[in-house]
Structure 1
Amino acid sequence: MAKDVNILFDELEAVNSPCKDDDSLLHPGNLTSTSDDASRLEAGGETVPEKNKSNGLYFRDGKCRIDYILVYRKSNPQMEKREIFERNIRAEGLQMEKESSLINSDIIFVKLHAPWEVLGRYAEQMNVRMPFRRKIYYLPRRYKFMSRIDKQISSFRRWLPKKPMRLDKETLPDLEENDCYTAPFSQQRIHHFIIHNKDTFFNNATRSRIVHHILQRIKYEEGKNKIGLNRLLTNGSYEAAFPLHEGSYRSKNSIRTHGAVNHRHLLHECWASWGVWYKYQPLDLVRRYFGEKIGLYFAWLGWYTGMLFPAAFIGLFVFLYGVITLDHCQVSKEVCQATDIIMCPVCDKYCPFMRLSDSCVYAKVTHLFDNGATVFFAVFMAVWATVFLEFWKRRRAVIAYDWDLIDWEEEEEEIRPQFEAKYSKKERMNPISGKPEPYQAFADKCSRLIVSASGIFFMICVVIAAVFGIVIYRVVTVSTFAAFKWALIRNNSQVATTGTAVCINFCIIMLLNVLYEKVALLLTNLEQPRTESEWENSFTLKMFLFQFVNLNSSTFYIAFFLGRFTGHPGAYLRLINRWRLEECHPSGCLIDLCMQMGIIMVLKQTWNNFMELGYPLIQNWWTRRKVRQEHGPERKLSFPQWEKDYNLQPMNAYGLFDEYLEMILQFGFTTIFVAAFPLAPLLALLNNIIEIRLDAYKFVTQWRRPLASRAKDIGIWYGILEGIGILSVITNAFVIAITSDFIPRLVYAYKYGPCAGQGEAGQKCMVGYVNASLSVFRISDFENRSEPESDGSEFSGTPLKYCRYRDYRDPPHSLVPYGYTLQFWHVLAARLAFIIVFEHLVFCIKHLISYLIPDLPKDLRDRMRREKYLIQEMMYEAELERLQKERKERKKNGKAHHNEWP
């Protein structure tokens, strides 16, 4: 459709329907653009309002709006580079004005303004899409009927005191800036665009983006690598560079009675306020203020949070089902009543013998997560992940259409300045644009990728080494806690070992994350990606691999390796022929996995929330406190906007990476091991409800305004989500088959229990399961280094001769002592069969759902077809009008020629 629009430009006359400009997005009668005010006053010969000169959004003349701010210190020695850079800025046509800080005279603010000529020239180079004709919507009869119903429902809701999960549109402006066809801006075809006022034609976000594009390509020294604002920020020539917020986010008057002071104030009241946590997000306003990339992030986060409601409800139901059926669980009953079953020590020497009934609490807790509904929930979550991704594609398509991103392609992205500088001598023709551009040789690219892949492999090995260290810690400390003086720790040595290991693991995770970030940045810059999106995708993939392995490696160890390769009493497997490998608790390994997931998930989300909001709040509070001490509280209100924004925290250098990474890792926790921890979706939901408002509050109040940038989707994160969805099917199959006792209980019920051969599987069929799942060991067969200090006489008054352990092995007096029983092989075969059947069944369901759900909603497809049809009609009419004009001209020329004939 974009190509048709461009062709239409050649024929279409500038007869356009009026389209609302950016300033009409503000509350009518409550707020008017100061830039528009200035232009009207200037045209009428009036003086510029004094507020324009004092609010910090304009130059001293009150007419030129500030599009970008650079900050440096006079004491900085890089003065020559700054002078060359600023001289080249003026040469590009940007206007500049400098101002000293009111707090520190050593700080200088450089205010930049882009005149119309500069904006037009670079908007054409950057393919900035601007409106040229109002859209004509096609609404079928059934949608008109539904719209009337929606209006009636909306009028009814006005009588309600609250509107749960509704956007409060009474306080929002009329967001209809998307009701226009757009096309790449062209100065030759400028008469086709809707330009009511040149000062407001490009909104503030677009103006800042154009200025940033210019600054990234200006030289500060002679040389191919001596260009760009980023390098000057890196070497300290400038301290900061940012666009301005539109003013204060606070107002003395209520927004309902007096309207919004500016768009920032509007976002704070209708989006970033805690009082609207249950409302929909004003995504159009977020996109208008922060750009499409940030708007898409919050759209995805809101969609993900909404989709967590059914997952959280089903997970809570599975947990409550375990609570309700706890008293009827035959397995936990037998464990609690097994006072005569003595279990073998779980570590060498210091660990005592223990009654199986001592693990009664752990057996009951295990049943809460490992019950008959677990398999159903695992299948549901695998299907849920697919439905979530498929419906997000539909939601993204609607957003891309509304935000005019359907035809936005990666070819429209600019080449990174670093790539241009590095490969400026090697050029080739771009097959799309036909223009020469820098080119990276294939051999050079391959060699850099090989070095980068080697670095990734090395860092993953570092993670595995860290996990190995945690394993050694668990093996060593379990004996230490068993010999502890405090009875509480001594009697719960395994729980203490698991809890402390998880906390230490969390600290190691956070420390290694700092190292990973630096290594990933180094490797990504070494690859020399061509565009910013390629750089972001490469950096994102590295950081995700590092952090995913770092965060989940110990969880994988507990789920699939803990207690699986320990051997048996009398023939334990040992680490470095010294330390005996850790065993599971007598009630199973699932409790360890639950503890690992619960502690890591809660600590990780708490830490992330503190770092995202708590840390900026503390930093900004400390800055304000220093200002009050040095200059007094009365100076606070007189600061211009650039001073206020400079005292805020800068946005993360990697953009939205940290926000996406936090949510993607949470998605992994929610899906990959959900069979072991059904409450994970509920914890994720509660966190995300808070996360949306935390992020909104942070963006609006605590951070400098980020540079607005375009994007048509969430990038490489979608592919990562699909990979996690596939991995979750495999891991949940293995968790149910290997980690939980679901398969052993099923085999016992149908093959070895009281109901064997009857086709029943109730609780009465589980009678005797605990005894059948435990093997017998003769204490005299212990190795010398494994023999416990206690002889077990405290249980019966005489030394014990036998103890029990979890395994399916023959007794010591059989023909093959401690050999595997037939039940072991039946359980093993059932586990393998379950994994194969589960994976194939779930993957078939996933692919079927993916096939049945179209990527584009039908109404959106109809609207796009309707627009294409209208554009073809306009092209036909324009062509017909051109032919009629040519015919009239030929007739006129023919008559003139006839009159001239003698």
Structure 2
Amino acid sequence: MGFLLDWLHFCCSSRRKIYYLPRRYKFMSRIDKQISRFRRWLPKKPMRLDKETLPDLEDSDCYTAPFSQQRIHHFIIHNKDTFFNNATRSRIVHHILQRIKYEEGKNKIGLNRLLTNGSYEAAFPLHEGSYRSKNSIKTHGAVNHRHLLYECWASWGVWYKYQPLDLVRRYFGEKIGLYFAWLGWYTGMLFPAAFIGLFVFLYGVTTLDHCQVSKEVCQATDIIMCPVCDKYCPFMRLSDSCVYAKVTHLFDNGATVFFAVFMAVWATVFLEFWKRRRAVIAYDWDLIDWEEEEEEIRPQFEAKYSKKERMNPISGKPEPYQAFTDKCSRLIVSASGIFFMICVVIAAVFGIVIYRVVTVSTFAAFKWALIRNNSQVATTGTAVCINFCIIMLLNVLYEKVALLLTNLEQPRTESEWENSFTLKMFLFQFVNLNSSTFYIAFFLGRFTGHPGAYLRLINRWRLEECHPSGCLIDLCMQMGIIMVLKQTWNNFMELGYPLIQNWWTRRKVRQEHGTERKINFPQWEKDYNLQPMNAYGLFDEYLEMILQFGFTTIFVAAFPLAPLLALLNNIIEIRLDAYKFVTQWRRPLASRAKDIGIWYGILEGIGILSVITNAFVIAITSDFIPRLVYAYKYGPCAGQGEAGQKCMVGYVNASLSVFRISDFENRSEPESDGSEFSGTPLKYCRYRDYRDPPHSLAPYGYTLQFWHVLAARLAFIIVFEHLVFCIKHLISYLIPDLPKDLRDRMRREKYLIQEMMYEAELERLQKERKERKKNGKAHHNEWP
């Protein structure tokens, strides 16, 4: 009896077709009419899905409502065997198996426990046959939904087509369908960001020959720079960094500020329009108010707190609960674990910093001239590669720690468990991935002191300085290498690893049967030989894209090509994920969800953080503010209100300070005396800073220009942040969460359903009254 009640409860959560009435009401605005006219001039199917190959999955001329056996006469049932689709049937079976008692005992409940103790090896719904067919889908049609998904979604030949989201939802469930809907929306929104970022880069390319700063750097053959490390680093001409100055201009030019503002606004527009898109999908897929009505308690929570019960204020039924003191103690232990793991990440970054300050001297004394002359670039490149290896190694540890801490908290529902686990893993991976980038952006070269009074690490190693062309080149290298390596590694692990594993499994099966021929196994055994979906569902897919979103927005002012790289990766990512789900993975259980969960809040947090970081990157890391101050205050156009390239004449010389070589500390004094430049030992060298010369009243003190630049940087950060946040809030206010036509349709549907239900109940009552009257007359006629 308990199984039947569970089944009926689950059936009630499945919305089914009720009444044949028009559901879609057309509210075509002027914009829609203009778009429809414009589409007539386009090719017929440039990116459209070939809908003639897709079946009519759902009737569009009917309403839906939660199924109830008491009102079964209201529902349209053509065939009771197909009334609930395959995905819903799988959920019903899984719901029962999760809560069945297989042995009398305290915790002898559910299929998950049988899987954990090894009684069963696996449990999964079956695919609907093979994804391949000998016949063409255009001539003979699709064999099954899996074959149709492969041809219209997972095939590389349709990479430019829209995704068949309704078919994905029908086959894999709403949760996976929402992921691919979000991924497709995110990829589509990357097109304008990638175009503007490429424009900023090309603007730097086209204006490179007219850049006065890079010209002065390339022509500065008489300016000798101080060594960037102790002893082994030689003196160098400023003109030797000509290439780096030109590369810096490609990313740090006049369009950088505009692009940073654009990306901050873009992130807000992306999130606001995704809310509208999600609302439409939730309405079409009958997910409105689903979670609040139907979410259930985790079996593990029930087993742990089965002895403690209290009345649910909503349902009025007794349910297990967790005491407040128990919950607080578990949260404190979990928070301590998170803090400890973040400290581990910071320790790893500290190790990378030590590596950088130690190896820069090693590379400066290297035998090969190529490495010796580019010691800083070699140090940065190797440090990034080592950092990437550390990131990948720590990720394995983080997953186990996050799982342990989440289970320790004992979340009440599955969504609470997922949200808790997601937040921990995101914090770990975000700090792990971006900590070195934050160090390079905001700390590298900021606290080194000056020649003759260098600040040192553990009173031994001299802190690393920026390249003579600035610190932005290091930040660009860090972001470019990490982004390319991580996306390449993720793509290999997502597709290459399952392909290799499945090939090896098929090979072992053929060897066990003693034949090299293809064996015709039943469908359950074919699916068993595929790779299972990871235990955390879509977590890895979401995490990869969210971290990429962070790279695309947080430091985009330093690397405007990040949106373009993300776009190219995502075009491949959609088909890789589709191919993996259809061909390489066992069919996952079709789960329901009304949105992307806690990931939306994480995206909003990244959007806010991106405004702050980009403001600091422009103000501190790049040379935008020092150049602006020089142009308006100290350059040849000072006081004239101009800021062209002619106003930048002499900027390089004004941004360098003078140091007397005899003032070097003993451990910092270079081995070379600089006689290779002029034939006589050098007396002075230059370094990047705004300090007084050695013969002034206050040797090596900060100049007035330094304080002007510092004040301008602080003012820029405040103005930039407030301006961008105002624009973001204004956009959020102007863009409603629900489209007007959707809001009207929802109100209309609610009104019609209430009217229909009222009429149906009135009809039923009238029928019962007639029957009672009829029965009453019959009894009256029988009275003697």
TM (norm. structure 2) is 0.95
Q: Deviations over 1:67-116 (max 9, x none)?
A: xxxxxxxxxxxxxxxxxxxxxxxxxxxxxxxxxxxxxxxxxxxxxxxxxx
Runs of 4+, deviation exceeding 6 Å: 130-143, 147-162
Hey, what's the Cα distance between the residues in 2 that align with 1:691 and 1:162? 26
Please report how far the alpha carbon of residue 121 of structure 1 lies from its aligned counterpart in structure 2 after TM superposition.
Answer: 5.8
Q: Deviations over 1:618-668 (max 9, x none)?
A: 111122223334436675342111111111101011000000000000000
Hey, what's the Cα distance between the residues in 1 that align with 2:298 and 2:278? 27
Higher deviation after alignment, 640-649 or 480-489: 640-649
Checking the alignment, whether the CA contact within 8 Å between 1:389 and 1:722 is kept in structure 2 is yes
| 1:804 alignment partner, SS class | strand
Hey, what's the Cα distance between the residues in 2 that align with 1:810 and 1:139? 83
Please report how far the alpha carbon of residue 233 of structure 1 lies from its aligned counterpart in structure 2 after TM superposition.
Answer: 2.1
Pair 1:368–1:184, CA change in 2 (3 A): same
Pair 1:123–1:883, CA change in 2 (3 A): closer
Pair 1:435–1:184, CA change in 2 (3 A): farther
Q: CA RMSD in A?
A: 2.7
Pair 1:819–1:150, CA change in 2 (3 A): closer
Checking the alignment, whether the CA contact within 8 Å between 2:229 and 2:361 is kept in structure 1 is yes
Pair 1:312–1:421, CA change in 2 (3 A): same
Pair 1:134–1:313, CA change in 2 (3 A): same
| 2:677 corresponds to 1:795 | yes
Checking the alignment, whether the CA contact within 8 Å between 1:562 and 1:589 is kept in structure 2 is yes
Give the match for residue 27 of structure 2.
145
Pair 1:144–1:850, CA change in 2 (3 A): closer
Pair 1:733–1:152, CA change in 2 (3 A): closer
Please report how far the alpha carbon of residue 895 of structure 1 lies from its aligned counterpart in structure 2 after TM superposition.
Answer: 5.7
Checking the alignment, whether the CA contact within 8 Å between 1:341 and 1:804 is kept in structure 2 is yes
| 1:136 alignment partner, SS class | strand
Checking the alignment, whether the CA contact within 8 Å between 1:779 and 1:803 is kept in structure 2 is yes
| 2:653 corresponds to 1:771 | yes
Pair 1:217–1:877, CA change in 2 (3 A): closer
Please report how far the alpha carbon of residue 208 of structure 1 lies from its aligned counterpart in structure 2 after TM superposition.
Answer: 1.5
Ranges in structure 1 where 5+ consecutive residues have no aligned partner: 1-118
Pair 1:881–1:210, CA change in 2 (3 A): closer
Please report how far the alpha carbon of residue 151 of structure 1 lies from its aligned counterpart in structure 2 after TM superposition.
Answer: 12
| 1:783 alignment partner, SS class | coil
Pair 1:651–1:158, CA change in 2 (3 A): farther
Pair 1:374–1:801, CA change in 2 (3 A): same
Please report how far the alpha carbon of residue 838 of structure 1 lies from its aligned counterpart in structure 2 after TM superposition.
Answer: 0.4
Checking the alignment, whether the CA contact within 8 Å between 2:309 and 2:319 is kept in structure 1 is yes
Pair 1:633–1:397, CA change in 2 (3 A): farther
Checking the alignment, whether the CA contact within 8 Å between 1:346 and 1:583 is kept in structure 2 is yes
Higher deviation after alignment, 219-228 or 858-867: 219-228
Hey, what's the Cα distance between the residues in 2 that align with 1:404 and 1:833? 50
Hey, what's the Cα distance between the residues in 2 that align with 1:794 and 1:493? 19
Higher deviation after alignment, 527-536 or 192-201: 192-201
Checking the alignment, whether the CA contact within 8 Å between 1:224 and 1:424 is kept in structure 2 is no
Hey, what's the Cα distance between the residues in 1 that align with 2:152 and 2:168? 11
Checking the alignment, whether the CA contact within 8 Å between 1:131 and 1:181 is kept in structure 2 is no
Higher deviation after alignment, 477-486 or 218-227: 218-227
Please report how far the alpha carbon of residue 202 of structure 1 lies from its aligned counterpart in structure 2 after TM superposition.
Answer: 2.1
Pair 1:127–1:772, CA change in 2 (3 A): farther
Hey, what's the Cα distance between the residues in 1 that align with 2:550 and 2:174? 26
| 1:200 alignment partner, SS class | coil
Checking the alignment, whether the CA contact within 8 Å between 1:215 and 1:229 is kept in structure 2 is yes
Pair 1:785–1:145, CA change in 2 (3 A): closer
Hey, what's the Cα distance between the residues in 1 that align with 2:566 and 2:340? 32
TM (norm. structure 1) is 0.83
Please report how far the alpha carbon of residue 313 of structure 1 lies from its aligned counterpart in structure 2 after TM superposition.
Answer: 0.3
Checking the alignment, whether the CA contact within 8 Å between 1:343 and 1:355 is kept in structure 2 is yes
Q: Deviations over 1:517-548 (max 9, x none)?
A: 00000000000011111110000000000000
Higher deviation after alignment, 792-801 or 620-629: 620-629
Pair 1:190–1:379, CA change in 2 (3 A): same
Hey, what's the Cα distance between the residues in 2 that align with 1:158 and 1:265? 32
Please report how far the alpha carbon of residue 197 of structure 1 lies from its aligned counterpart in structure 2 after TM superposition.
Answer: 2.4
Pair 1:155–1:821, CA change in 2 (3 A): closer
Checking the alignment, whether the CA contact within 8 Å between 1:217 and 1:417 is kept in structure 2 is yes
Please report how far the alpha carbon of residue 881 of structure 1 lies from its aligned counterpart in structure 2 after TM superposition.
Answer: 2.9
Q: What is the percent sequence identity of the aligned residues?
A: 97
Hey, what's the Cα distance between the residues in 2 that align with 1:143 and 1:149? 17
Please report how far the alpha carbon of residue 184 of structure 1 lies from its aligned counterpart in structure 2 after TM superposition.
Answer: 3.4
From 306, 319, 329, the equivalent of 1:437 is 319
Checking the alignment, whether the CA contact within 8 Å between 2:220 and 2:237 is kept in structure 1 is yes
Higher deviation after alignment, 889-898 or 637-646: 889-898
Checking the alignment, whether the CA contact within 8 Å between 1:130 and 1:193 is kept in structure 2 is no
Pair 1:130–1:284, CA change in 2 (3 A): farther
Pair 1:369–1:158, CA change in 2 (3 A): closer
Checking the alignment, whether the CA contact within 8 Å between 1:780 and 1:801 is kept in structure 2 is yes
Checking the alignment, whether the CA contact within 8 Å between 1:133 and 1:194 is kept in structure 2 is no
Pair 1:120–1:700, CA change in 2 (3 A): farther
| 1:134 alignment partner, SS class | strand
Pair 1:752–1:472, CA change in 2 (3 A): same
Pair 1:127–1:824, CA change in 2 (3 A): farther
Please report how far the alpha carbon of residue 203 of structure 1 lies from its aligned counterpart in structure 2 after TM superposition.
Answer: 1.7
Please report how far the alpha carbon of residue 207 of structure 1 lies from its aligned counterpart in structure 2 after TM superposition.
Answer: 1.5
Pair 1:613–1:489, CA change in 2 (3 A): same
Pair 1:149–1:384, CA change in 2 (3 A): closer
Pair 1:881–1:230, CA change in 2 (3 A): closer
Hey, what's the Cα distance between the residues in 1 that align with 2:146 and 2:419? 30
Checking the alignment, whether the CA contact within 8 Å between 1:336 and 1:358 is kept in structure 2 is yes
Please report how far the alpha carbon of residue 150 of structure 1 lies from its aligned counterpart in structure 2 after TM superposition.
Answer: 9.3
Hey, what's the Cα distance between the residues in 1 that align with 2:154 and 2:235? 57
Pair 1:136–1:390, CA change in 2 (3 A): farther
| 2:687 alignment partner, SS class | strand
Hey, what's the Cα distance between the residues in 1 that align with 2:699 and 2:455? 17
Hey, what's the Cα distance between the residues in 1 that align with 2:566 and 2:777? 81
Hey, what's the Cα distance between the residues in 2 that align with 1:863 and 1:612? 40
Pair 1:205–1:894, CA change in 2 (3 A): closer
Pair 1:322–1:146, CA change in 2 (3 A): same
Please report how far the alpha carbon of residue 554 of structure 1 lies from its aligned counterpart in structure 2 after TM superposition.
Answer: 0.3
Pair 1:504–1:592, CA change in 2 (3 A): same
Pair 1:607–1:137, CA change in 2 (3 A): farther
Hey, what's the Cα distance between the residues in 2 that align with 1:792 and 1:777? 14
Please report how far the alpha carbon of residue 143 of structure 1 lies from its aligned counterpart in structure 2 after TM superposition.
Answer: 7.4
Hey, what's the Cα distance between the residues in 1 that align with 2:299 and 2:403? 17
Please report how far the alpha carbon of residue 876 of structure 1 lies from its aligned counterpart in structure 2 after TM superposition.
Answer: 3.5
Please report how far the alpha carbon of residue 875 of structure 1 lies from its aligned counterpart in structure 2 after TM superposition.
Answer: 3.2
Checking the alignment, whether the CA contact within 8 Å between 2:17 and 2:75 is kept in structure 1 is no
Pair 1:603–1:399, CA change in 2 (3 A): same
Pair 1:402–1:135, CA change in 2 (3 A): same
Hey, what's the Cα distance between the residues in 2 that align with 1:850 and 1:147? 22
Q: Deviations over 1:5-29 (max 9, x none)?
A: xxxxxxxxxxxxxxxxxxxxxxxxx
Pair 1:762–1:120, CA change in 2 (3 A): farther
Pair 1:131–1:233, CA change in 2 (3 A): closer
Q: Deviations over 1:705-757 (max 9, x none)?
A: 00110000000000000000000000000000000000000000000000000
Checking the alignment, whether the CA contact within 8 Å between 1:669 and 1:680 is kept in structure 2 is yes
Pair 1:148–1:701, CA change in 2 (3 A): farther
Pair 1:291–1:840, CA change in 2 (3 A): same
Please report how far the alpha carbon of residue 156 of structure 1 lies from its aligned counterpart in structure 2 after TM superposition.
Answer: 12
Pair 1:196–1:633, CA change in 2 (3 A): farther
Hey, what's the Cα distance between the residues in 2 that align with 1:516 and 1:559? 25
| 2:290 alignment partner, SS class | coil
Ranges in structure 2 where 5+ consecutive residues have no aligned partner: none
Checking the alignment, whether the CA contact within 8 Å between 2:174 and 2:591 is kept in structure 1 is yes
Checking the alignment, whether the CA contact within 8 Å between 1:776 and 1:802 is kept in structure 2 is yes
Checking the alignment, whether the CA contact within 8 Å between 1:131 and 1:194 is kept in structure 2 is no
Q: Deviations over 1:592-625 (max 9, x none)?
A: 0000000000000000000000000111112222
Please report how far the alpha carbon of residue 889 of structure 1 lies from its aligned counterpart in structure 2 after TM superposition.
Answer: 5.5
Please report how far the alpha carbon of residue 211 of structure 1 lies from its aligned counterpart in structure 2 after TM superposition.
Answer: 1.6
Hey, what's the Cα distance between the residues in 2 that align with 1:887 and 1:313? 70
Checking the alignment, whether the CA contact within 8 Å between 1:122 and 1:210 is kept in structure 2 is no
Please report how far the alpha carbon of residue 677 of structure 1 lies from its aligned counterpart in structure 2 after TM superposition.
Answer: 0.2
Checking the alignment, whether the CA contact within 8 Å between 1:124 and 1:184 is kept in structure 2 is no
Hey, what's the Cα distance between the residues in 2 that align with 1:613 and 1:141? 41
Higher deviation after alignment, 819-828 or 403-412: 403-412
Checking the alignment, whether the CA contact within 8 Å between 2:11 and 2:68 is kept in structure 1 is no
| 2:186 corresponds to 1:322 | no
Hey, what's the Cα distance between the residues in 2 that align with 1:504 and 1:793? 37
